[in-house]
Amino acid sequence: MKLKISSTIVLIDDDLDLLDLLASFFKQRGYKVHAFNNAEEALIEIESSRIECDVVISDLKLPAMSGMEFIKRIRKTKFALPIILMTSEGSVETAVEAIESGSYDFVLKPLHIPQLLISVQRALFLNEVQQENSNLKSLFQEDVMGLKGVIGKSLGFRKALELAKRVSASQANVLISGESGSGKEVIAKAVHELGDKKDGPFIAINCSAIPENLLESELFGHAKGSFTGASDKKVGLFEEANKGTLFLDEIGDLSLPLQSKLLRVLQERKVKRIGENQYRDITARIICATHKDLRKEVAEGRFREDLFFRLNVIPIYMPPLRERKEDVLPLSEYFLKKFSVMNNVKVKGFTKESIQKLEGNEWKGNVRELENAIERAVVLTASEFIQPEDLPTDEYYLDETSQESEAVQGMSFESEKTVTLDELCKKYIHYIFEKNDGAKEQTAKDLGIDRKTLYRKLKEMNLN
């Protein structure tokens, strides 16, 4: 366990020799130490905040005020301060009383000092975890329209949030549109949190991220043995979200057969698991979102018109971040606090030039891109304040794009005859394999497949 150097320990014992020994031991290991031979003086110093301490080590039997009494008194003002009691009485009753009174640990005299050190380290680790939890909770204390953790003050964002608030009490279908990464799920959660189903689950699924044959099983569930690999029954998300909300993101990517089944669910409020004949009632509220223009999709035959009208009862538009410049700085400050806590670094804020750079960026990837940029800056900065050079530049994104373009151009398909999809896959695998000098681990990672699949493909291609 890593020592928290410069942590402060308060020692309380009327045995001056032991007090001196412990003070010397901890000072040699980088700790700050305040030593007291009576509990009253220590209590006054701590309660008045004249000294700050991270852990207290106190004897149980002390003149005037005992260790037990000290704990009861200090708990009134310093509830989370860990206190380790030392005693020569090793009875179970004494240990139980010590723990019940609020002591963190209980060690016996004569002391085994390395064991005491471990107890101190654990107490300090507990302090750090509690502080991190407290800091993370504080991030969600923003209150926008009665919602915690919702950040945004632009007119477009507030309009979307206000509409979500107005429809939350109804059971009308809601369709949220907006670019990828703009925060459509935030609006969906707002509808859920402000409505009568807030005590139920909020379950989100991205319809474009799951293959069609698996998506149907995820949504509707299946019976045991209904298809190869169905070794047990599965409850679908429509059922799991009962008494709550099911958020179907990227609904525009659903296949036409699944669109037909979704329409039936919306009309009848019933689902049937794959391989079963039994219909089951659902009580979940269904909210959908898409980055596509569904009217155009309907016109071009890729989306059912009847489903569109069924979904589009309450349309809510989430503007892209480039149209919500007032939200960039509040979001950036939130992400800064979040990633500072997560990475245990002390980053205080942004320089004036960094703020100008943040607010001047187009953020084509919207909030998701901003979040990634701030995380990168927090991790890489060498300063207490984020500098302009810590933030990604346009050249950074251009470099990423150009590298991808070079990779595609490197295969040089233009000069070749038409190939089958299978041949195309093999050519691409061969290209990435050679690019990585035969490193299978990296090749599998670049291709987004597991090693077993790669090994099988390479064997088929006679590549070692």
Bridge partners, residue 247, by sequence = 204, 287
Convert the pLDDT of each residue in 412-440 to its tens digit: 545 455 657 667 777 788 888 777 777 77
Average pLDDT over residues 107-111: 87
Rounded Cα distance, 218 and 365, in Å = 28
Fold of 323-392: Helicase, Ruva Protein; domain 3 (1.10.8)
* pLDDT over 60 at 405, yes or no: no
Split at pLDDT 50, 70, 90, the class of 2 is very low
pLDDT score for 228 = 73
* pLDDT over 80 at 5, yes or no: no
Token pair 């909020």 is at which residue? 202
The C-alpha angle with vertex 238 and arms to 234 and 241, in degrees rounded to 5, equals 100
Report the mean per-residue pLDDT for the chain: 84
* pLDDT over 80 at 247, yes or no: yes
Pick the residue with more confidence: 211 or 309?
309
Count other C-beta atoms under 10 Å from residue 91's C-beta.
Answer: 9
User: Residue 154: helix, strand or coil by DSSP?
Assistant: coil
Token pair 């369709």 is at which residue? 175
Strands (E), 323-372: 349-350
Rounded Cα distance, 318 and 314, in Å = 13
Query: b/e string for 377-394 if b means 16 or more Cβ within 10 A?
Result: bbeebeeeebebebbbee
Count other C-beta atoms under 10 Å from residue 256's C-beta.
Answer: 11
Structure tokens at 204: 């989100």
pLDDT score for 106 = 83
Q: How would you classify the pairing of strands 234-235 and 221-222?
A: antiparallel
Rounded Cα distance, 137 and 337, in Å = 11
Do the Cβ atoms of 198 and 192 come closer than 8 Å? Answer: yes
Average pLDDT over residues 382-409: 65
Rounded Cα distance, 415 and 8, in Å = 71
Helix locations, 421-463, DSSP H = 421-435, 440-447, 451-460
pLDDT score for 402 = 46
User: Which residue type does 274 have?
Assistant: I
Do the Cβ atoms of 130 and 100 come closer than 8 Å? Answer: no
8-138 matches 146-319 in fold: yes
pLDDT score for 401 = 43
Give the CATH architecture of domain 8-138: 3-Layer(aba) Sandwich (3.40)
* pLDDT over 80 at 441, yes or no: no
Structure tokens at 148: 């915690």
pLDDT score for 418 = 63
Rounded Cα distance, 81 and 98, in Å = 15
Among 186-190, 210-214, 400-404, top mean pLDDT goes to 186-190
pLDDT score for 328 = 94
User: Which residue type does 176 have?
Assistant: I
Bridge partners, residue 288, by sequence = 175, 248
**Least trusted range by pLDDT, from 278-287, 313-322, 396-405:** 396-405
pLDDT score for 3 = 43
Rounded Cα distance, 299 and 47, in Å = 72
pLDDT score for 143 = 52
Return the domain boundaries, the chain: 8-138, 146-319, 323-392, 398-460
pLDDT score for 394 = 55
Rounded Cα distance, 459 and 433, in Å = 13
Q: Judge if the upstream peptide bond of residue 63 is cis by omega within 30 degrees of 0.
A: no
Do the Cβ atoms of 56 and 12 come closer than 8 Å? Answer: yes
Do the Cβ atoms of 444 and 450 come closer than 8 Å? Answer: yes
Q: How would you classify the pairing of strands 221-222 and 270-272?
A: unpaired
In 3D, which of 57, 101, 97, 61 has the Cα closest to residue 79?
101
pLDDT over 70, % of the chain: 87
Among 52-56, 262-266, 443-447, top mean pLDDT goes to 262-266
Do the Cβ atoms of 92 and 161 come closer than 8 Å? Answer: no
The CATH number corresponding to 146-319 among 3.90.120.10, 3.40.50.300, 3.40.309.10, 3.40.50.2300 equals 3.40.50.300
* pLDDT over 50 at 77, yes or no: yes
pLDDT score for 400 = 47
pLDDT score for 398 = 44
Rounded Cα distance, 191 and 175, in Å = 11
Do the Cβ atoms of 385 and 346 come closer than 8 Å? Answer: no
Count other C-beta atoms under 10 Å from residue 237's C-beta.
Answer: 22
User: How many residues appear in the chain?
Assistant: 464
